[in-house]
A and B are shown apart, each in its own frame.
Chain A
Amino acid sequence: MIVPLDEAVRELVHDGDTIALEGFTHLIPVAAGHEIIRQGLRDLTLVRMTPDIVYDQLIGAGCAGKLVFSWGGNPGVGSLHRFRDAVTSSWPVPLEIEEHSHAGMANRYVAGASGLPFAILRGYSGTDLVENNPNIRTVTCPFTGQELAAVPALNPDVTVVHAQRADRDGNVQLWGITGIQKEAVLAADRALVTVEEVVDTLDPVPGQVILPERVVDRVSVAPGGAAPSYAHGYYERDNEAYRAWDAVGRDREAFTAWLEELIAAPTTPEPAGRGL
């Protein structure tokens, strides 16, 4: 259950998989994303509501063939330039996109977690998203006759999330802004959770989400593994790093240099005395 991150990625993620690395600004599984880049995975369908700089990096590294998303940007800073380059110039490889709204994506995960084939919502009506995405359709309510939007369930092959901590059995605890992580894990065929630390007992925290070990396939200890996003109670969001990414992401050469450095670096080491 609790294994090093490189081993967990090797076991759970394969070329061609549909993979969601979720996190709504908080607890973004950045270390796991970097390990996917390092292992050279290809032709992934990347899924996420809010692809930010780690998705920019995965796309720029050529890991993705498709992106399913609702908002792709560098939060508070601007655009994702590797994403832009892939969409407008197919660099380094063409990137197919499937685009939703947040409400649509959230409900797709809910349907996936609920074992339903599709989700309904009041949404999308009148937008140009409808004609550009065959996965946005309508359904008529059998009780009231109202027409509502329908979107298919999302069931990733693998979901990866980052959490504050796990116990030695692999039960996972996260808190703060917990976004869509519970639904994304329950919707997936396989789940990998990176954590700040492993503890003997998960002391209750207000607003916590618990992912029981039976829905988690692998836990890997990755202290700081959400940086430059943050882990509530552990470290703050590194806003400067988000601002600094803009210049790296804008330039293919600067990005390539960044990528070579990442690939050469070892998988996030596990500091002595933590967990395990």
Chain B
Amino acid sequence: MTTVTWTSDEIMTVTAARSLRDRMSCFVGIGLPSTAANVARRTHAPGLWMIYESGTLGTVPGHLPLSIGDGILADTADTVVSVPEVFNYWLQAGRIDVGFLGAAQIDRYANINTTVIGDYADPEVRLPGAGGAPEIAASCREVTVIMRHSRRAFVDRVDFVTSVGHGSGPGDRERLGLRGAGPMRVITDLGVLEPDPLTRELVLTGVHPGVEPDAVREATGWDLAVAGDLAVTPEPTDAELSVVRSLTGGS
């Protein structure tokens, strides 16, 4: 048996990066999504057109930004536009291929909560809130969610719908007038979940090497279905790992 030379965070990041294609336009959330998008741009997708909601279009930062509006994003952008422009002319007008989002909580229909844990009027935990996510989830052609797997985070129903995934099932996005396809994959440190084409419920369609499907079901707060043709993520290559580590400072 070979020794595993990567961490679960690293294979999550690499898997998310691989989901991006060259020359796509990508609306990038800060944190894990930002790391993955920058890995993609430094590996197989050099023409990835990254947009951060601070108004930096086509940015190619030399290191990972800590915030959504670090100076390095403006310095290296094709252009810097105002906040109304990035949301109205670029996102709302349907010019973005994929939204790359994180989340505090997600449910079986891939609805996303970044607002509160518990009751809105009297929350157990107050989270930062919506930011750009509701309209990113609505208007990008599709959405990829990147987050660590746990029963606290993967729940049957989110406490608060900050951003709509697939609502309560088939037809909801169309009924709500949401023009993008919504979350088409959720990439975690354990595997990959995708919406069932008919029910729109998230199904486990892939696991990372060494991860048993039951372990993913155990870390999920609903009765997670497992696809018949479950894929196993190809191991990260040395080149991918070296890029991830050059960005995150890991080894």
Contact = CB atoms under 8 A, between A and B. Distances in A.
Contact of A88 (B79, B123, B133): B123
B135 interface: yes
Interface in B28-81: 30-31, 53-56, 65-71, 73-74, 79-80
Given A87-B123, A178-B55, A129 B128 contact: no
Given A107-B84, A121-B88, A129 B69 contact: no
At the interface, is chain A mostly helix, strand, loop or mixed? loop
Interface stretch (A98-106, A150-158, A211-219): A98-106
Interface in A71-120: 71-73, 75-77, 79-80, 83-84, 87-88, 99-103, 106-107, 109-110
A26 B83 contact: no
A237 interface: yes
Given A26-B54, A101-B133, A121-B92, A178 B80 contact: yes
B176 A176 contact: no
Contact of B87 (A50, A75, A103): A103
B161 A126 contact: yes
Nearest to B133: A101
B135 to A, nearest CB: 4
Nearest to A76: B66
B15 interface: no
Interface string B123-138: 1111111111111001
Interface string A241-257: 01000000000000000
B128 A72 contact: yes
B177 interface: yes
A237 B70 contact: yes
A123 B134 contact: yes
A219 to B, nearest CB: 22
B82 interface: yes
A127 B134 contact: yes
A127 B120 contact: no
At the interface, is chain B mostly helix, strand, loop or mixed? loop
A69 B129 contact: yes
Contact of B128 (A73, A124, A183, A239): A73
B130 A70 contact: yes
Contacts of A73: 128-129
Given A69-B129, A178-B55, A106 B176 contact: no
B66 A237 contact: yes
Interface in A230-244: 230, 232, 236-237, 239, 242
Contact of A75 (B66, B88, B115): B66
B66 A239 contact: yes
Contacts of A101: 130-135
B146 interface: no
A125 B138 contact: yes
Nearest to A129: B130
A127 B67 contact: no
Contacts of B82: 178-180, 182-183
20 contacts: A24-B54, A24-B55, A25-B68, A49-B83, A71-B132, A73-B128, A75-B67, A99-B130, A106-B88, A109-B84, A122-B92, A122-B138, A122-B139, A125-B177, A126-B176, A129-B130, A180-B83, A182-B82, A230-B71, A239-B67
Given A76-B67, A207-B80, 9 more contacts: A24-B69, A25-B68, A71-B130, A71-B132, A79-B126, A122-B139, A126-B167, A176-B80, A177-B54
Interface of B: 30-31, 53-56, 65-71, 73-74, 79-80, 82-84, 87-88, 91-92, 115, 120, 122-135, 138-139, 160-164, 167, 172, 176-179
